[in-house]
Every structure is written in structure tokens, then in C-alpha cells.
Amino acid sequence: MPTIHNSAGADYAFLEGGLAFSSGVIALPGFEIVRARFARVLPVAEGFEAIAAHLRERHRPLTALCAAELRSPKPFTPGGFGDFNASWVAVLKRWGLYRQELNPVARSNVCPVHEAPQQPGFHAFSYTMPTGAAHAGFLTTSDHAVDAPGPRSFVIAGFAEWAEGTPFPDGIVAHGDTSPAGLARKAGFVLDGLERNTAALGGDWNALTAVQVYTEHEIGALVASHFAPRGLARLGIDWHVCRPPVEGLEFEIDVRCVRRELVVD
């Protein structure tokens, strides 16, 4: 059973994952998660600088960063992915996010089929704010005061069709099979994993506000068979025509319950 830990700033908790990212994050009492999408993908180094500036403007520490959505030019080899993750982790450690060598930041990192960036970069990020901090113009609405009803906000990291702990690529579900039947097996496995992580983190699956699907393959047939039965069709499924970050993977999804989202230039 994965372990839950509090973040360095005690503003969110995270579900233990691997070296590169946690399996998900959930706001602790008194805080909520805000998602910000960049108007264009920013290279990783530039993106970190922009995130730091954004947090400073909102009087939030660097440790408020809790999730990231990345875009890369093409899928990595397993070795190349490891090299990228090492540089990623180095920045998070400098920011003081690591606790007991655990990475608290949830993440997705996918590769657009069309208009891919020339180098890995940030598409979006999420961070914590004190509940009800919509005053002073930092956020656009003020309906989520401390005493306002509503579920705790959370972000579940990107989950792909590989059974963690099994050999790679042999542990990939329906490995090499992108037929309708193969994609259905992949989707079922991924959705099961996301539901499991949501429950382990204490999130409310019925409170999800967004589901993002990352695959270059047609997903229309999966809506009725896999997404609708799990209550996801009501959200409008956000299909990003992207490949997962490692060669051999074909299907990835992340989900979130976030009431505040904004776009930053």
C-alpha cells in the first residue's frame, strides 16, 4: 500500500511514487490547489523561473509547487528518461521540496504528435494557496471561503499502461497492440490505477473536474465502454494527441479536482 506523506510546507500531502514524481497530491486543510497553464510551452529552465516569479507574486514559497505538466519533443529511451529525471530532481531538491529523499511533486510528461516543442518544457503547473485567498486580485473568484462547502482539491499524476515493478517493456499491458481490443485493455488498466491512487490519497473520484487523455490513437470507442461507466463523460474528456514519455508506451491519463485554473503569459 503506497504511503502518504506531508509536503515540506505542510500545505499538501502526497502519495509516494518514484524518483521522478509522486503518484498524486491533495490539499491539506486550510489550502487549495490552483492550476496555471502557460500560454505557450516554456523550456524547463525558463519555466522554473516563471513559476518562481508567479509564486513570489502570490506570496507563496517555492515549496508550494505540487504538480507539473510537461511536454517533450519525442518519447525518451528508458536511459534518456532517467537522465532527464536526474536533472529534474536536482531542481526540486534545490527548491527544498524533497523530504527524506521523497519527491512530492506529481507530474505528467508527454510528447505532442503535432507542433511538438524543440526541447522539454512546461505546459502547466499546480501550486497551493490558502483557502479563500481570492482577495487582492490573486485569483478570479471568491466563492471558496474557508467555510465554503466543497471537496479537497487534488491532482493525480499521469498513469500509463505499465505495471510498476514488472520488467520493462514486457510489463506493458497489451504491449505493441494498438487494436481496439488492445487499447481497451490499456484504458481499463490505466483507469483502474487512477481510481486506486485517488482512493489511496483520500480524494473523491466523483468530484473530478478534469480528465486528460494522452495518446495518438483514436479514443472515441472508449468513451461509452470505459469513460462513461466511471462517471467521466460528464466532464468532457480532454484528449491530447500526445505520446507517453517513454518508447513503447501508448496510453496515459491524468485526472484532477481543481476549482481554480488560470492561464499565464
| Cα 244 from Cα 73, distance rounded (Å) | 11
- Summarize pLDDT for 94-113 with one digit per residue, the tens: 999 998 889 999 999 999 99
Q: Which domains does the chain have, with CATH numbers?
A: 4-154+258-264 (3.30.1330), 159-257 (3.30.1330.40)
Beta strands in the chain (DSSP E): 4-6, 12-15, 24-27, 31-43, 65-71, 106-112, 121-130, 154-160, 210-214, 238-240, 242-243, 252-257, 260-264
Percent helix, strand and coil across the chain, each rounded to 5?
Answer: 30, 30, 40
Q: Which of 197, 187, 118, 186 is nearest to 155 (CA)?
A: 197
| Cα 173 from Cα 154, distance rounded (Å) | 27
| Cα 231 from Cα 226, distance rounded (Å) | 9
- Summarize pLDDT for 212-222 with one digit per residue, the tens: 999 999 999 99
- Summarize pLDDT for 163-205 with one digit per residue, the tens: 888 999 999 999 999 999 999 999 999 999 999 999 999 999 9
Max CA pair span of the chain: 53
The x, y and z cell numbers of residue 223, run together, are: 468513451
Stronger pLDDT, 236 or 132, i.e. the higher one = 236
* Of the listed ranges 18-22, 72-76, 202-206, the one predicted with least confidence: 18-22
CA dihedral 13, 198, 102, 251 (to 10 degrees): -140
Judging by DSSP bridges, how do beta strands 154-160 and 24-27 pair with one another? antiparallel
What pLDDT is stored for residue 182 in this prediction?
98
Percent of the chain at pLDDT exceeding 70: 93
Gap between the terminal Cα atoms of the chain: 40
What is the model's pTM? 0.93
The x, y and z cell numbers of residue 34, run together, are: 490552483
- Summarize pLDDT for 149-161 with one digit per residue, the tens: 468 999 999 999 9
Please provide the average confidence, as pLDDT, over all residues in the chain: 92
Angle at 13 between CA 201 and CA 35, to 5 degrees: 90
